[in-house]
Amino acid sequence: MVPDVTWQDSVNSVFGAINENWGAILFWDDHPFKLPAILMVMLGGGIFFTLRYGFVSVRLFRHAWDVIRGRFDKADHKGEVTHFQALTSALSATIGLGNIAGVAVAISLGGPGAVFWLWVAAFLGMSLKFSCCTFAQIDRIVHENGTVLGGPMVYLEKGFKRNFPRFAWLGKVLAVVFSSFAIAASLGGGNMFQGNQSFELLAAQFPVLQNANWLVGIVLAVLVGAVVIGGIKRIGEVTSKLVPFMCAFYCVSCLLIVFANYEMIPSMFGQIFREAFQPDAIWAGGFVGVLIQGIKRASFSNEAGLGSSAIAHAAAKTDQPVREGVVGMLEPFIDTHVVCTLTSLAILITGAHLDPALAGKGAAISAKAFESLGSVAPLLLTIAATLFAYSTIISWGYYGEKGTEYLFGTKAIPFFRVFYVLMVALGPVLSLGNIITFSDLMLLSMAFPNIVGMMILSGSVKSALSEYMVAYKDGFVNPFPIPQVKSAENIDAVVSKQGV
């Protein structure tokens, strides 16, 4: 007897075919470097911008912390949120299940050495984030009611139109492609996947919820709707309180595991550095396998190069684009160098990754590491993961909203918000695996138009950074407003004109 084919099965089969073909292009690795194509673009972009901007992530690292502390905030600057709120809004989208499960997968498949390459990719990603967020401020649209539309879709179109008029069409194409990818990614990876995984974790911890997926979905949708409908101001207010709390909560939990075995810390770091270059044969294909796992998980976790966080940073109140760029570059540091490192140490110290039965099962590996804290551990991990998932949903709602606004105008925003909240409710209920995979492919696909476009337009940010560094080295004694860069201007002429 032929089993009945449901509409979910039909939809899954269609998206399965798309995933197979598009995934083959996105992860093509039949070349000497053996690194998936999209990761080569992201890694190459990180190296390019790190060198192009003269290691800005090192030069202005301390200054970035001064900015998020509010030392340069001014109420009369155009925008909707503070520097700190923009940072937490973006972090709430990146700090999530990847920090808990993704890192565990990297270590399981690539060994301890993968952590080193995770750090390297995050360091390069800081310059990518700097570039994205500076561009977002150079070219943004501030509406009469004070709301902001910004991000790759805006700076790609306006940047090409201004600097390369004959190729304005290319900027428009890249902008439309990016917006389409962003909307698809927000509905799947940023929405339904998060809700689905939250339900699985809650049901495992509280068996009474096993058949209450509709209830969990509705409650989560109400909580998300209460924030998303308020726009970036409301999102910024919530994330500025939620993100520091959830990061501290999770990091303290990991630190309890680490400090309980403090004598092992030096040997763990030694193992990470040693196996980064001389991996044991049991790990995923030697050096290349270790490198791939580290870079892949760092890219998935901190989203450097995707351009998504630039949408949130475009709404920050500032008159100096570079200042928001240095705020954005802190995201990979916090997400990867801090949160992912603590996850890594907790896993390595407990040896949870050595269980062959858990190979490649990220969440299960992290759960085993947390077991060393006692019977309360599963509850701690469930709370952390649920908070991470919730914060990711609300921030990606804003990203999808802005992609919708760019393509269809402000009148489409209410319709998107309602649809987005409905998808939240359906997340725990539906089993549309291939649609989620499709959305994740869309998320990574955002990097291609964004990074390629930024490379071509990088002269604008380079010019703005040079001007900003003049004032920075002068201690901002004679600060001058950073102009909305129109082209790569001669720095000497600018400085002379400003009288600095």
CB 281: neighbour CB atoms within 10 A? 6
13 bridge partner residues: none
| Structure-derived torsion over alpha carbons of residues 499, 475, 309, 135, reported in degrees to the nearest 10 | 20
pLDDT number for residue 129: 93
140 bridge partner residues: 150
**CATH class (in words) of the domain with range 57-498:** mainly alpha
pLDDT number for residue 223: 87
Domain boundaries along the sequence of the chain: 57-498
316 bridge partner residues: 81
> Which portions of the chain are predicted below pLDDT 50?
1, 281-285, 477-500
Tens-digit pLDDT profile for residues 301-337:
777 888 888 998 888 888 889 999 999 999 989 888 8
Query: Rounded to 5 degrees, what angle do the CA atoms 305, 107, 359 make?
Result: 120
346-351, long-range: CB within 8 Å, 24+ apart, which pairs? 346/254, 346/257, 346/258, 346/370, 347/103, 347/104, 347/107, 348/107, 348/112, 348/115, 348/268, 348/271, 348/272, 349/257, 349/258, 349/261, 349/264, 349/265, 349/268, 350/257, 350/261
Rg (CA), the chain: 22
pLDDT number for residue 287: 54
Please say whether the beta carbons of 370 and 377 come within 8 A.
yes
What the block records as the tokens of 302 is 């901190």
d(CA 48, CA 207): 50
pLDDT number for residue 388: 82
The predicted model scores a pTM of 0.84
pLDDT number for residue 114: 81
pLDDT number for residue 408: 93
d(CA 425, CA 299): 28
Single out the residue of 434, 452, 164, 467 nearest to residue 319, CA to CA: 467
